[in-house]
Amino acid sequence: MSIDTAYMRDALTRRLLRRGVSGGTITLPAVPAMVDEYVSMCNKIFAALGRKFNNDELAHLRTLLAKELANAFDGSNRSNIIITYDAPVGTVLNYHIQPQWTSLADAYDNWVATRKPPLFGTHPDARVTALSAQIADPSTARVLDIGAGTGRNALALARAGHPVDAVELTPKFAEILREDAYKQLLNVRVIDRDIFETLDDLQKDYQLIVLSEVTPDFRSPDQIRAVFELAAECLAPGGQLVFNVFMPKPFYMSDDAVNALAQSARELAQQLYAAIFTGEEIDTASAGLPLRLMTNDSVYDFEKENLPAGAWPHTGWYADWVSGRDVFDLPREQCPVEMRWLVYQKTA
């Protein structure tokens, strides 16, 4: 009688693993549309510990994960799902699933505490600089910088002679910007609040409104609409609105299979500071307002071609981020999304 050694070794391995005691914690961004990926990951980990789940157990795990992923994602686009598990001696495995939320302001406050400055680079955006250079007399051309961060654009615009209103939601960013403007004796008024709370403290004659790296934190096209409405209200006739936004390339979202993938991509992108909006969504958001699209450029190409020598990229992470590679682990040329510069002019 021959012995099936592989079969026997599997039997030995099962007994070995059942005598083990293990536990752990898994923390991942909450992306509800990718629930099957979470189930697959847990199934592999649990099976490796000798606690392979049957179909009913996997279905129950999926139900719990789906519920808590939705709770986390609905609460914040800076949310995690935390899975803790422990496996005592035997065949039992206990697990617990918990959502974890972080506000946008808290997430950026953590950047200040844990990252080495400059957080967003030292040079202003080439696209913003180019628009400013078109204005003959900067001293009479007030600029509104929304989501000004630590002032990379706002301070440069003020040094060029523009009076600048800089709106910033994150308290620590606003504090840094205010201090730098004071030290450099620059005409920058810092407004630390959510820009959409009120327009009462804003001017109605801005020549330029800037939102750089702001829409990647948006959660819905309604926020894009709010930006257009603000621009229609606060720009002087002929004034310009410029913002950058992640958009799908033409071949993306073209059939049902890709649309299913797009939902996962949209949710993951929101967790990675890269919210995606389609051209149709942006056109709908601007409909009926006195704003005309003037230019639509690749951020990667425009900044690389127009920044001063040695200034590209703005940061070590910038080139991959604007190329969509934070969302898709692919070469830049294959990424189905990219960041674009959109410039609108107020027509009346």
CATH number of the domain to which 273 belongs? 3.40.50.150
With a cut of 60, say whether residue 101 has pLDDT above it: yes
Choose the final residue of a domain: 74, 102, 130.
102
- Please give the average per-residue pLDDT across 39-55, as a whole number: 96
- Please give the average per-residue pLDDT across 330-343, as a whole number: 96
- Please give the average per-residue pLDDT across 305-320, as a whole number: 96
Q: How far apart are CA 139 and CA 145, in angstroms?
A: 16
- Residue 84 in contact with residue 96, Cβ under 8 Å? yes
- Please give the average per-residue pLDDT across 278-293, as a whole number: 97
- Please give the average per-residue pLDDT across 93-103, as a whole number: 95
- CA distances to 69, 75, 140, 268, 269 from 98, rounded to whole Å, are 9, 13, 54, 18, 21
Quote the pLDDT of residue 107. Answer: 87
Quote the pLDDT of residue 176. Answer: 95
Which residue segment(s) compose the domain that 78 sits in? 5-102
Choose the final residue of a domain: 68, 102, 136.
102
User: Which residues have C-beta within 8 Å of that of residue 17, sequence separation ≥ 6?
Assistant: 49, 50
Choose the final residue of a domain: 102, 130, 150.
102
Could you tell me if 270 and 334 lie in one domain? yes
Give the angle 300-172-319 at the CA atoms, nearest 5°: 15
Q: How far apart are CA 108 and CA 199, in angstroms?
A: 24
Which structure tokens are listed for 274? 């890269």
User: Which residues have C-beta within 8 Å of that of residue 88, sequence separation ≥ 6?
Assistant: 21, 94
Lowest mean pLDDT segment, chosen from 160-174, 253-267, 284-298, 317-331 = 253-267
Q: State how many domains the chain has.
A: 2
Confidence of residue 131 (pLDDT cuts 50, 70, 90): very high
- Please give the average per-residue pLDDT across 278-307, as a whole number: 97
With a cut of 80, say whether residue 29 has pLDDT above it: yes
Quote the pLDDT of residue 2. Answer: 78
Could you tell me if 176 and 27 lie in one domain? no
Could you tell me if 154 and 257 lie in one domain? yes
Quote the pLDDT of residue 169. Answer: 92
CA-atom Rg of the chain in angstroms = 25
Quote the pLDDT of residue 253. Answer: 54
Find where tokens 């001063």 sit.
Answer: 308
Quote the pLDDT of residue 255. Answer: 52
Which structure tokens are listed for 139? 């001293």
Name the pTM for this structure.
0.92
- Residue 136 in contact with residue 116, Cβ under 8 Å? no
Q: Residue 44 forms beta bridges with which residues?
A: none
Quote the pLDDT of residue 254. Answer: 53
Q: Phi and psi dihedrals of 186, rounded to 5?
A: -100, 150
